[in-house]
Amino acid sequence: TIQSMLLWRARLLRFLSPYQPWIISVLLLFIISSHTYQGFYSYPSMSTVIEHIVLLKVKPEASDEDIKKLIEGAQSLRTIPGVISITVGSTFAEEWMPDRRNGHTHTLSCRLQSKEALRVYQDHPLHAQVKKECMLPVLAEPPMAVDYESVVVLGDSTEK
């Protein structure tokens, strides 16, 4: 957190006080400001990524084991080169919100390094295998997928 970084800054300044603390202070301020948010997530400032979003409608008769296989298969796609992250889960609607799912029961989100990485992902044998063996057998209809390029903007969730 910022408080712990400032505490370390104060300790370091006390230790190095004879060595022009204003230079050290400026240097530490630069380090703290450039790593406060990005450092924890390994995203350089203003980096662009490709988002691959897939909406799934799982058959009502699909078993818990079928859904577990779907989720584990999707999670295994993280090993494909160029994949930054994979998330997959059941959709939901809270009682206080309108149900916007349109019958989609699960969603897969894949963050990739580039458009070239999306091509590698789409053509990868593991992707074809997971789609054929884990997804298509349990789907009520073909999945809906969209891809877009985005700048990563991190929230302030690290501060309270």
**Confidence category of residue 141, pLDDT binned at 50, 70, 90:** very high
pLDDT tens per residue, range 76-103: 999 999 999 999 999 999 999 998 999 9
Specify the pTM: 0.69
Distance CA 69, CA 91 (A): 17
**Confidence category of residue 68, pLDDT binned at 50, 70, 90:** very high
- Of residues 63 and 158, the one with the higher pLDDT is 63
Q: Which two tokens stand for residue 79?
A: 């090993």
Q: Would you state the torsion angle of the CA atoms of residues 52, 141, 68, 148, taken in this order, to the nearest 10 degrees?
A: 10
Selection from 3, 1, 2, 27 nearest residue 13 by Cα: 27
